[in-house]
Amino acid sequence: MFKDIRGYFEFLDKQGYLDRVKDEVELSAIPAKLADQAKKGNAIIFENIAGYQASLFNNVFGKREFLASVFECPIEKVVDVFADKLEQRIPPVMVAKGPVQEIVLTGNDFDISDFPFLIHSAGDGGRYITGGVVFAKDPETGVRNCSFNRMQLKDRNKTGLRMSPTQDLEAYYRKAVALNKPLDIAVVIGSHPMCLLAAACGPARDVDELDIAGALCGEPIELVKCKTIDMEVPAYAEVVFEGQIIPGELEDEGPFGDFMEFYIQVMKNHVFHINCITMRKDPMIQVIFPGSIDDVTLLGSPREAQIKKVLNSINVDVRAINIMVCKNYLTCAISIKKQIDLEPKNALMAAFGSFKFLKNCIIVDHDVDVFNPSDIFWALSTRLRAEQGIMIVPHAAGFGRDKYGIHTTKLGIDATVPLDAWDEFERITVYKP
Ligand SMILES: Cc1cc2nc3c(=O)[nH]c(=O)nc-3n(C[C@H](O)[C@H](O)[C@H](O)COP(=O)(O)O)c2cc1C
Ligand SMILES: [Mn+2]
């Protein structure tokens, strides 16, 4: 497989999935351009940003087709290939040097605002790092963890950092607090696309996400030692910020437009102190727009794989699954070839049981396209018998940030036709002589 994000872009370029903007662009003009780009779906690199040395890229996973090409399978098979690979492990290997350390900046030699980090949404409290993967080690066991965390630029060497109470990083942080020791972290920007997927997939706490990244690549990720902390980072990444989170230090962070397309209000969050930057000579910075397909692919595709695997294990004949149907990963549409009349309810219970954040789940027949929302609505209007097809499970765990209890009730919908009535529900097709 390609070695790094640059290799991935070459790979996408050959298939017409990449746009390179060579003309000079103002940083402030980029968010609006990226909103347009999201409709097109191609990955994009801004190579010439006025006043900035680094380039900026976005839409690494702009279309489902990208992963299908990477895994060399049809789009509908991506979920199965991904599920298989997520169970494999290929541990990383150490190498003596790598391009990510071509330049080393310490002391007063750097200012993070010199990198093209964006204000993403109109009401955001400032510029944010959205494409950074946080590398940390369990202070007791040394097990590595990789996760996404938003970081608000605060000073030349300081950002705010949001970790949620359920994240592995937060568990490591609590151990650091108990030991009264700073938690060393490295923030890696411009990671290999398989490292990005691994960092978002949320495996068990004792699993090193880089072992999964290796499995997704089919070969080990090569790592170099950080310059100032006891951490290893991908040798072929673009930029690394090395530094610490200090126990007990909290500051205002936000507002920030999040993946549900609301603003998270200002809250007390952690602070990341940066003491060293290593990077390539001509670094590239990744940005991820909350609630974009790019964002939802990272969080949604491993959950699709997980749900599909569970349904397969109870012999539900899943034809297609789409957890991005509402631009987040809270609602899922699944098409099945029904084998038993009341089976969709069992499938719904299994789906809710296999992914806690899942709030709404719709099951349709195999002739409905789950990637086409109007086709799903067609099934609701023509095939749903609401008095028996709707299942509500109140008071179950759901998405955590939920002051108003919006995510604690599961809505399951069976919009399939009775098994013995197919003659009456066969869809019309256009007459062709
Ligand atoms: C672009 C992006 C930004 C994210 N930002 C945050 C964040 O700021 N805080 C957080 O707790 N989770 C965030 N997440 C979700 C976590 O990265 C994700 O749940 C990950 O699996 C957590 O890793 P862990 O399982 O090792 O805890 C983000 C995910 C993505 C894709
Ligand atoms: Mn983890």
Kindly report, residue by residue over 161-193, the tens digit of the pLDDT: 999 999 999 999 999 999 999 999 999 999 999
Percent share of the chain, pLDDT over 90 = 99
Instruction: State the distance from the centre of ligand 1 to the C-alpha of 77, rounded, in angstroms.
Output: 26
Test site for ligand 1: of 121, 146, 147, 299, most ligand atoms within 8 A of the Cβ: 147
* Residue 135 one-letter amino acid: F
> Superfamily for 90-282?
Electron Transport, Fmn-binding Protein; Chain A (2.30.110.10)
Tens digit of each residue's pLDDT (9 = 90 or more) over 267-320: 999 999 999 999 999 999 999 999 999 999 999 999 999 999 999 999 999 999
Residue with tokens 């599920």: 83
Fold topology of 293-425: UbiD C-terminal domain-like (3.40.1670)
- pLDDT per residue as tens digits for the range 243-272: 999 999 999 999 999 999 999 999 999 999
Whether ligand 1 lies within 6 angstroms of the CB of 150 is answered as yes
In terms of Cα–Cα distance, which of 363, 409, 368, 413 is closest to 388? 413
- Measured distance CA(164)–CA(431) in Å, rounded: 55
Query: pLDDT-derived band of residue 203, with 50, 70 and 90 as boundaries?
Result: very high
Do strands 18-21 and 151-155 pair parallel, antiparallel, or not at all (unpaired)? unpaired
Report the helix count and the strand count for the chain, using DSSP H and E. 12, 23
How do the domains of the chain map onto residue ranges? 1-86, 90-282, 293-425
Of all protein residues, the one whose alpha carbon is nearest to atom 28 of ligand 1 is 148
pLDDT band of 28, cuts 50, 70, 90: very high
Pocket test for ligand 1, best of 149, 263, 297 (most atoms within 8 A of CB): 149
Q: How far apart, in whole angstroms, are the C-alpha atoms of residue 164 and residue 255?
A: 15
Q: Is the CB of 299 under 6 A from ligand 1?
A: yes
